């Protein structure tokens, strides 16, 4: 069973740092490439750039809860939530027309 996880391409879990602006402040975010790919997918689905998606998410979290203690962890969990929601939709029966 672990071979499925251990045998994955090391590029998936290599980290990449991207620079962007959050609330007008220049910052950098370091995530594993698999998470960047998912965030890019979410942004594309929403029709926005990845920096725009991340900035919007950060602004919404600030408004709801204040400054997140660990924003990169929030991004990773957002990816997991996206995958859960995608899985839930895929398992729903197709509605009859």
Segment 4-20, tens digit of pLDDT: 889 999 999 999 999 99
Angle, alpha carbons 91-92-95 (nearest 5°) = 145
Q: Are 86 and 45 in contact (CB under 8 A)?
A: no
- 23 — phi, psi (to 5°)? 50, 40
Which residues make Cβ contacts (< 8 Å) with residue 11, sequence separation at least 6? 33
Domain ranges of the chain: 8-79
Write down the mean pLDDT value for the chain.
Answer: 91
* Whole-number pLDDT of residue 97: 44
Q: Which residues of the chain have pLDDT under 70?
A: 91-97
Q: Please give the CATH number for the structural domain made up of 8-79.
A: 1.10.3990.20
pLDDT at position 12: 95
Q: Has this prediction a pTM greater than 0.75?
A: yes
Contact of 44 with 4, CB cutoff 8 Å = no
User: Cα 27 from chain centroid?
Assistant: 17
CA-CA distance, 82 to 66, in Å (whole number)? 22
């Amino acid at each position: 069973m672990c071979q499925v996880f251990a045998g994955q391409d090391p590029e998936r879990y290599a980290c990449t740092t991207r620079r962007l602006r959050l609330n007008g402040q220049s910052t950098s975010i370091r995530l594993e490439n698999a998470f960047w790919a998912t965030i890019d997918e979410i942004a594309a689905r929403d029709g926005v750039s990845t920096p725009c998606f991340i900035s919007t998410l950060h602004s919404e979290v600030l408004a709801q809860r204040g400054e997140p203690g660990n924003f990169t962890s929030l991004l990773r969990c957002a990816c997991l939530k996206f995958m859960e929601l995608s899985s839930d939709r895929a398992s729903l029966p197709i509605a009859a027309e």
